[in-house]
Structure 1
Amino acid sequence: MKKHLSFLALAVLFFQLSAISQTIDQNYIQKIKEFTTDDRFLPQSLMDVVDHPTIPSPLKHFGHITGAEGVIHRSNEIFGYYQKLAETSPMVEVQQMGTSEEGRPFYIVIIGNEESMQRLDHYKGQLALLADPRKTTPEQAQKIVLDSKPVYYVSGGMHATEMGSPEMLMELSYRLVTSTSPEIQKIRNNVITVINPVMEPDGWDKQVDWYYRYTKGREKFDDGFPRSAPYWGQYVFHDNNRDGLQISQAITKSIFKGFFEFHPTVMLDLHESVPLLYISTGTGPYNDYVDPITQSEWQVMGNHDVAAVASQGMPGAFTWAFYDGWWPGYGIWVANNHNSNGRFYETYGNAGADTYLRDLSTSRYAGDLATSKEWYRPDPATPQVNWSYRNNINYTMVGVIASLSYAANNSELLLSNFYKKGLNSVEKGRKEGPKAYTIAKDQRDPAMAAYLASQLIAQGIEVHENDTHYVALTEQPYRNLLVSLMTPTAYPKDAKFPPYDAIAWTLPNLYGVAVESHESLDLNTSSLKKVDTTVKYEGKVAGQGNTYVLAYKAQNNVLPALYALKSQNKNAEMTILPKETIFEGDTLSAGSILIKKINQNQAAKIASDFGLDLKAGGDGIVASAQKNIQLPRVAIYHTWYNTQDEGWSRFTFEERGIPYTSIDKDVLKTGNLRSKFDVILLPRVRGNAKNFINGVDKKFGPMPYTKTPEFPSHGFPAYTLDMTGGPGFLGMENLRKFVEEGGLLITLDNTSNIIAEAGIASELSPVSAGSLFHPGSIVMAKVRKSDSPILNGFPESFNIFRGNGPLLQTDKYNRDMMLVQYGFQPLKDEVPYEGPIMGMRDRNEAAKADKKDEKSPSYVVSGMVRNEQEIVGHGAVFNVPVGKGNILAFTFDPLHRYLNHHDAPMVWNALINWDKLR
């Protein structure tokens, strides 16, 4: 928020004069003591809150301190406080970085001394020079470091139930602006602090409303009552911290914008889940492509902060034993991926502002009890802790101040390391292979090739192009990230602790795009042109007429194009070729589409908007070789107890332009589903059939999720008069009737297991595979039913992304329901018997002698699977007939986090062919 220079000068002068006679705000300190439950949780360093005459503390602004029992502020109130700080102090500026899906602003708050704020653009420019060693020599970098300040980016409120940090950051900001302690003054003078006060304001406001509506004043923390609102963002829940590769959500885009504008030297993300304060380093294995300097900084800074907490006599701070450091898709990993330093804290939170007796006695991290004394936890907490909102804020604030202090005392080292990491990346690109990656523009799905190039550009990776290829040269500052995104991962099979998240993210495999790696630079680089914006494939139209052929290769945009065309031209006719067909000398694969009764302009618009190539003609293809496409009415089901993956499904459908209706338990219970929908999609949900059928415990009901004047953020993106209960047996029976009457039910991942348990897909049974460990990896699958329209456009074998989902199987006589299997080897009961058979005199010994023992390709493409023999041969996709309809059961999630785009066309095939699966 900019101020006129005259006001700025007066404000600076007044601030300097008033600082001489500052007094401590005893009232504020007394309130801190009142809301802190134990003297050991009460750090002496926080007992110096200034009573400033013109800059309001949270107490003066709100009438209560941050961390007061039973009080939490909505995002507009929090943002309003920062705006007041900016109005009353020349050391604070508020800047908007974007807008949420629901229209709330994403703000950052910039704090530094007067000189820092006056020269902010200069310091941002200096950091930009350090970020690209191709523009800055080591000698120049040394001079720049001496005329630079590190930017330390602190963020809170990403996960809505983690409610301490947005309140804490207000008080921290006040301290950074007003405190005269030597430590704070040094931070103010040597560091530019950037605060993201509420990273996810949509979710935050929903959760604040939830607290006041439902959980404030509950006597026990662990009473079974839902501590979280059913939704946070419009689409994603906890996965708003798993979008760093996709950059698909508004929150992620705002984080990336802030990073590339400020090039923070350190980014610290504040979370809550672990008692009492965890400071990240992780157990490892660390991501192979993170510079060793960053890995060492994690250790130094983590132990520094633990020591700072211990120095104040506060128990329960530790490092190492939580998280690993492998997956690069967290929000804060924009720093680690781009030569900065990304860290996080986990404090203990109560999902609100009440005090509870919390039991830590059985909590374990890295195998050790949370209350055990270890080398990484020198002063553990007791097995039970009476924990308050203010305790949480005290711990987080002491840690953050310590970390800011480290940056203030080691600014030159951090800035030099920032430059050196970029220099290391450039040097690796110059001296080591690969030297370049090329993405041919002519692909099975050229729109996805352009999308891959655009995703690299969004990550700050330089991409060039010529007439035929997109080219990413590795001699650039973010070379390590480029190689990481394009190379299969190899997670150590002998890792002592399980990974924290997925372990494979190789984008060419996830997108279904062919990429070539070049160990030597055999390209004519002079012909390359740098791509400065996102790229899009413009489809081509060959010929003119009223009928066009769309050669099908499982392109992601075919189904959206059909819906768009039908909405614009109701007379358009679309037919599908169920078998391979010869057309004008070309072979059209099964699934290719004839589009009739459209004009040249409509064809050109479809080609341009959706990146699809069309060819005029096809009238001569006999009608018997065609089947009409009846675009389905689709519903996406959501529970009220787990909305994470249905949110990703809704997002995917909306991004692709596929219309749908969102439904819940009440729609299932009402019944008559077949008259309303042709296809119902059940995205992945956690739990078992009991959870799915019963939903939120009815003993807590009724629980409305509706927008009211008192709770204005509720009721979106869905609403109900009562969240409790599930579809019940009536709703499940109606779901069965929907299929029996000719509908298609698509189930993803664990929901397939639930539907099998519930007896709706009675032909499917769970498979016990206790020794199988299958964290999110890219693996190979083999087609079993090549004539199934679900597999139109797919080869005989292909890779898919799979995590620790369920395993299902049919009886041997029903194996024709298995459309796709994991790996290449058959199940044991499918291996042909080759021994003697009584009653058969002649066995074909010659045929046995001629048989060759061929070695199957590797199951794992990227990632790691332990005991893969437990899954190979089992079904990945099943088509189960029920009555007149079908259940299409995936035992993985083909719509996982808007990431595995290569897998999604199996779902689109199902929608195109929903009435042709028998």
Structure 2
Amino acid sequence: MRTLTFFFLLLLSTRAAFAQSLPAPKDHFGFAIGDDYHLANYTQTEAYFKKLAAASDRIRLTDIGRTEEGRTQWMLIMSAPENLARLEHYRGISQRLARAEGLDEAAARTLSAEGKAIVWIDGGLHANETVGAHQLIETVWQLASRNDAETQRILRDAIILFVHANPDGQELQSDWYMRRADPKQRSLRYLPRQYQKYIGHDNNRDFYMMNMKETQNMSRQQYVEWIPQILYNHHQSGPAGSVLAGPPYRDPFNYVYDPLLVTSLDAVGAAMNSRLNAEGKPGYTQRSGSVFSTWWNGGLRTTAYYHNIIGILTEIIGDPTPSKVPLVPSRLVPNGATPNPVTPGPWRFRNSIDYSVSLNYAVLDHAVRNREHLLYNIYRMGRNAIEAGSRDHWTLTPRLVDSITNAYRKDQKLRRDEAVRADTLPARYFDLVFKDPALRDPRGFIIPADGPDMPTAVKFINALLYSGVRVQRATRSFTVEGVTYPEGSFVVKTDQAFRPHVLDLFGPQDHPNDVQYPGGPPVAPYDAAGWTPAYTMGLRFTRVMNAFEGPFETIPYGAIQEPKGSMASGRNGFVLSPAVNHSFTAVNDLLAAGIEVYRLTAADGAHPAGTFYVPAAGKALLAKAVTQYGITVAAAPRRPSALARLRPLRVGIFEPYGGSEPSGWARWILEQYHFPAERVYVKSVDSGNLRSRYDVLLFISGTVPPAGARPETMRPQPRIDDLPAEYRNTVGRFSADTTVPALQRFLEAGGSIVSIGSSTALAYHLKLPVRNALTETVNGEERALPNEKFYIPGSVLRVQVDPTLPAAWGMPDSADVVFARSPVFRLPASSVATGSVRPIAWFGSDAPLRSGWAHGQAYLKDGVAAFSARSGKGTFYGFGPEIIFRGQAQGSYKLLFNNLYLLQ
């Protein structure tokens, strides 16, 4: 007994000495995490993580990839030393349970008892939300150094994945804040560029498309390597008058989720809220207390839901500069949303860090206390998904449920406005809808290998693979339901654990008609209401409604695919399809090398107008493009007669001070497709002589104020003398007095302007012959339609297109576009008749909704979505829909690309 006691005391003293050797944050950074007026940058944070990992047997530091600016993105895996020694074993258990393939109930129970809870905790995704990165540092330190019973239990029964979500942003934001010697002069305001290289805040809008390197790095860990049961994503800022918003969230949630996911969210939220209350930390709000819902796909924590992962978001107040909790009387009365209100008063950065550590511990404590349940439940949800995809299944959506009432109304000859008592409908009306084979969920999807733009289709497939979806490929041609598909076609079946994600990316979202009261204004969704990338990327695919088999091989999970191109031999030159986005990349490479490229100005045999023609001199570069981009190069039987030579144009992307997400996406897209472009700021525009420097100016949503907007409503600008010299030329406001006349002169001198989304307001500044189509006349005055009558947040709509116009070459005659409260136009018939304005795309239907929510969509009928207008020697192009939206709307990229060349 004495020997055992001796060894026990020796172990405790060794652990205590080991903990004392760990570098505390203050020893490394020179300040404690949460000290007023102090932020750590990423260089310092990375060095600290390396020190801790070298000194602690509870940490394994893992390189998960490079950022867009080339930094290393780290994941710290924390657990008890004995668990770290068997990481592959526990990761394998997590994968097997989450995928639920070939795993019966007994085996799942056994693995759930053996496995460890896998919990993801990140920080710093939005770098101006400085609590996130700093709570990560503090929590890692506490878990590495503490030896209390709770910490030991957490380390014994959980494996925690701590991930820094935006290293580049922390470096930029912290250096910007700390640049002043006087602490009281430090400020997070007026960051001179986006805190993620291209897209800033939209780095949390990329998690089903995976365009950015950081998103790819994290998605691979989330959905291929580890598949955690809980994912915790830290954000700011909490609603005014509260400290933070957290789970559970307000309705609606997406109807493809397993109900177990929704109730599991409630359970974690209760644990978090209860812990804060037990520690005397008030101010947690939930459900209707905040704007956050679980509807939308694409965010770091929301994409997790489509993988049966409990995704947690908190939005907390706090900055390194001391602040206050404001007085918001409506927040002071306790209710179910805010059971323990916070009272107004001072607030310090350290308060936010302490709350965040408590929340992390609450999540981890919940995870280890419910370890077996969490592990089994992710299996159960995955198994449920496999079973639903293996039989006839109908998803309960508003559209189908409304069909029940509509069928009853029709039979009873009731008016649309007549109420229907809920208890009067016979059960047969349920069967009428929910046993209709045409309304079932599909059993799978086929993307044929001979689609119109296979390189883009492969990008869609890779988004699925990054997201851990099981994808198959045909090893030879096959026939399903009477249709034959070629070898190499992709097959995605729904009998898999991540079925919700498959249905969501291939199929339409059916957002409810969410209004404050009947006939009242809509309740805005947190982000988009509909997205469906299979539509917006212009894919050709088949929904297969019955079970099917074929000569399919399964692509290994996460194995990214390369498109397979081909090149024919020919003496008379080559042709490239204008329907393929990467044809433009190849053309830009040819032009940069001095190779002549032409476009057909009229259809020639099988080749439509807009087809690229490349003389034989371009053969070597085309062969390289086939390998790089997966394009198909056909031989020209002869040199076509109706040709116009292409000249690349000098392109400027208009950008406000500090950049913007939409303009950053534009810059990234043009880089991806090798269009040379440079950023243009207000000062450069106002200085005049634009035509000598640019041929095309590109204005993206959010960069042009509405006509008549007052200066005080525009984006605030920093004082020039407060900025480093390198950023002073980027300051300035768009002005009707100086900017608009300069742009008018640019057009008159032969320049082109391409405007997208809200920036089409420039058409009104320039007094072009177009007007707003979404208006009504009340008491003799024209006004914009109120939201009660017309409201379409981010959704997917169908437009008709004129592909004979050079601006729309390569487009189909109808296309799906992203509409996000977008402008719609009327063109005077007289102007159309003279050709001074031309419709490029329009709404040919009174029901163009394809995915999302469109309240009052009948108002769109015959409205113009895109147009061109002559102005002097130049041309103005206005595209109301978001034709390059977040790097996702790849099916409408050509509407931009076509206008970046001159035809001679």
Matched, 1:744 2:744: no
Paired residues of 2:656 and 2:731 also in contact (CA < 8 A): no
Inter-CA distance 357–270: structure 2 relative to 1 (3 Å threshold): same
Q: What are the residue-to-residue correspondences of 1:839-878 with 2, within 5 Å?
A: 858-878=847-867
Per the TM alignment, residue 733 of structure 1 is displaced from its structure 2 partner at its CA by 2.6
Which residue of 1 is the match for residue 823 of structure 2?
Answer: 806
Structure 2 Cα separation of the partners of residues 85 and 388 of structure 1: 27
2:632 is the counterpart of 1:613: yes
481 and 182 in structure 1: CA distance in 2 versus 1, 3 angstrom threshold: same
| Shift, 1:151, TM fit | 1.3
1:885 aligns with one of 874, 897, 904:
874
Please list the CA deviations of residues 340-377 of structure 1 after superposition, one character each: whole Å capped at 9, or x if unmatched: 21111111133xx1112353538xxxxxx444432121
Equivalences for 1:148-163 in 2 at 5 Å? Answer: 148-163=115-130
CA contact (8 A) 1:680 1:746 kept: yes
Give the share of equivalent positions with the same residue, in percent.
23
Structure 1 pair 328–698 and aligned structure 2 pair: CA distance change class (3 A): closer
**Measured at CA, do residues 97 and 495 of structure 1 come closer, stay the same or move farther in structure 2, by a change above 3 Å?**
farther
Instruction: Name the structure 2 match of 1:62.
Output: 29
Query: Are 1:720 and 2:727 an aligned pair?
Result: yes
Mean alpha-carbon deviation: is it higher for 286-295 or for 171-180? Answer: 171-180
SS in 2 for 1:284: strand
CA contact (8 A) 2:250 2:286 kept: no
1:244-643 equivalences in 2 (<5 Å): 244-259=207-222, 260-274=224-238, 275-321=242-288, 322=290, 323-350=292-319, 353-361=320-328, 369-382=330-343, 384-432=344-392, 433-466=441-474, 467=476, 468=486, 469-494=489-514, 496=516, 497-524=523-550, 526=551, 528=553, 530=555, 533-552=559-578, 554-568=579-593, 570=594, 572-582=595-605, 587-598=606-617, 600-617=619-636, 619=638, 621-622=640-641, 625-643=642-660
Question: 1:418-441 deviations in whole A, cap 9, x for unaligned?
Answer: 111111122122223522211111
Partner of 1:682: 699
Alignment correspondent of 2:480: none
Give the number of aligned pairs. Answer: 808
Q: Indicate the residue corresponding to 2:97 in structure 1.
A: 130
Moved more, 630-639 or 209-218: 209-218
Distance 1:405 1:508 in 2: 40
The one-character-per-residue Cα deviations of 1:94-130 (angstroms, maximum 9, x if unpaired) are 2111111112211111221222222222211221221
1: distance between equivalents of 2:891 and 2:803? 18
Distance (whole Å) between structure 2 residues aligned to residue 119 and residue 549 of structure 1: 56
2:209 is aligned with what amino acid? Q
Q: Which residue number corresponds to residue 195 of structure 1?
A: 162
Q: How far off its partner does 1:215 sit?
A: 11
Stretch moving more, 330-339 or 610-619: 610-619
- Runs of 4+ aligned residues of structure 1 deviating over 6 Å after TM superposition are 11-15, 691-695
- CA distance in 2: counterparts of 1:693 and 1:603, whole angstroms: 52
Shift in Å, 1:270? 0.6
2:429 equivalent in structure 1: none
Measure, in 1, the Cα distance between the counterparts of 2:899 and 2:658. 27
- Evaluate the alpha carbon distance shift between residue 118 and residue 318 of structure 1 in structure 2; reply closer, same or farther with a 3 A threshold: same
Conserved 8 A contact 1:556-1:905: yes
CA offset digits 1:31-80 (Å, max 9, x no partner): xxxxxxxxxxxxxxxxxxxxx53223223333432111111111121222
Distance 1:58 1:324 in 2: 35
Tell me by how many angstroms 1:641 deviates: 4.6
3-state SS of the aligned residue for 2:839? strand
Q: State the 1:882 CA deviation.
A: 1.0
Question: Equivalents in 1 of 2:181, 2:681: separation in Å?
Answer: 24
Against the structure 1 CA distance between its residues 488 and 334, is the aligned structure 2 distance closer, same or farther, given a 3 Å change threshold? Answer: closer
Counterpart code for 2:589? A
Which is worse superposed, 322-331 or 433-442? 433-442
Q: Tell me, in whole angstroms, the C-alpha distance in 1 between the residues paired with 2:23 and 2:117.
A: 27
Task: State how far apart, in whole Å, the 2-side matches of 1:739 and 1:131 are.
Answer: 57
Tell me the TM-score normalised to structure 2 length.
0.84
Instruction: Look up the SS of the partner of 2:154 in the other structure.
Output: helix
Deviates more, 1:199-208 or 1:334-343: 334-343
Question: Displacement of 1:694 after TM fit?
Answer: 10
Partners of 2:798 and 2:843 within 8 A in 1 = yes
Quote how far apart the aligned CAs of 1:821 are. Answer: 4.8
Match of 2:888 in 1: 899
Deviation at 1:695, TM superposition (A): 7.0
After superposition, what is the alpha-carbon deviation per residue over 1:189-217, rounded to whole angstroms, capped at 9, x for unaligned?
22122211x31111111111221237975
The amino acid that maps onto 2:785 is: A
Give distance in 2, aligned partners of 1:739 and 1:133.
Answer: 60
Distance 1:436 1:520 in 2: 8
Contact 2:123 2:132 in 1 (8 A): yes
CA distance in 2 between partners of 1:473 and 1:628 (Å)? 45
Moved more, 167-176 or 697-706: 697-706
Q: Deviations over 1:442-492 (max 9, x none)?
A: 122232233322322222112222241211122222222112211111111
Residues 639 and 695 of structure 1 are in contact (CA less than 8 Å); yes or no, is this contact kept in structure 2?
Answer: no
Amino acid at match of 2:26: L
Contact preservation (8 Å) 1:809, 1:875? yes
Aligned-partner SS, 1:629: strand
TM-score relative to the length of structure 1: 0.83
- 2:406 is matched with none
Query: 1:246 is paired with a residue of what secondary structure?
Result: coil
* Contact kept? 1:704, 1:723, Cα under 8 Å: no
Match of 1:30 in 2: none
What residue is the counterpart of 1:168 in the other structure?
135
The alignment partner of 1:657 has SS state of: coil
Q: 1:693 to 1:621 in 2, by over 3 A?
A: farther
Show the counterpart of 1:660: 677
For residues 216 and 345 of structure 1, the distance between their equivalents in structure 2, rounded to whole angstroms, comes to 32
Query: Could you tell me how far apart the structure 1 residues matched to 2:819 and 2:65 are?
Result: 33
Give 3-state SS (helix, strand or coil) of 1:305's partner: helix
Answering whether residue 816 of structure 2 is matched by residue 770 of structure 1, we say no
Contact 1:546 1:599 in 2 (8 A): no
C-alpha spacing 1:696/1:804, structure 2 compared with 1 (3 Å): closer
- Amino acid in the other structure paired with 1:513: L
Residue 60 and residue 214 in structure 1: after superposition, are their counterparts in 2 closer, same or farther (change >3 A)?
A: closer
Aligned to 1:71: 38
Distance 1:90 1:214, change over 3 A: same
Change in Cα spacing, 1:385 to 1:93, as seen in structure 2 (3 Å) is same
**1:181 offset after TM fit, Å?**
2.9
Shift of 1:136: 2.7
Q: Is contact 2:37-2:184 (8 Å) kept?
A: no
Q: How far off is 1:642 after superposition? A: 4.6
Displacement of 1:249 in angstroms is: 0.8
C-alpha distance in 1 between matches for 2:821 and 2:181: 33
3-state SS of paired residue (2:293): coil
Q: Is the alpha carbon distance of 1:406 and 1:741 closer, same or farther for their aligned partners in structure 2, counting shifts above 3 Å?
A: same
Q: 1:894 offset after TM fit, Å?
A: 0.7
**8 Å contact from structure 1 (residues 640, 695) kept in 2:** no
For 2:816 and 2:303, the matched residues in 1 are separated by 27
Aligned alpha-carbon RMSD (Å): 2.8
Quote how far apart the aligned CAs of 1:727 are: 5.3
Displacement of 1:738 in angstroms is: 1.6
Report the residue type matching 1:887 in the other structure.
Answer: F
C-alpha deviation, 1:762, in angstroms: 6.4
Q: Is the 8 A contact 2:764 2:770 kept in 1?
A: no
One-letter identity of the residue aligned with 1:777:
S
**SS where residue 573 of structure 1 aligns?**
coil
Taking a change above 3 Å as real, the CA distance of residues 795 and 389 of structure 1, as seen in their structure-2 partners, is same
Q: Counterpart in 1 of 2:109?
A: 142
Q: Which amino acid aligns with 2:873?
A: K
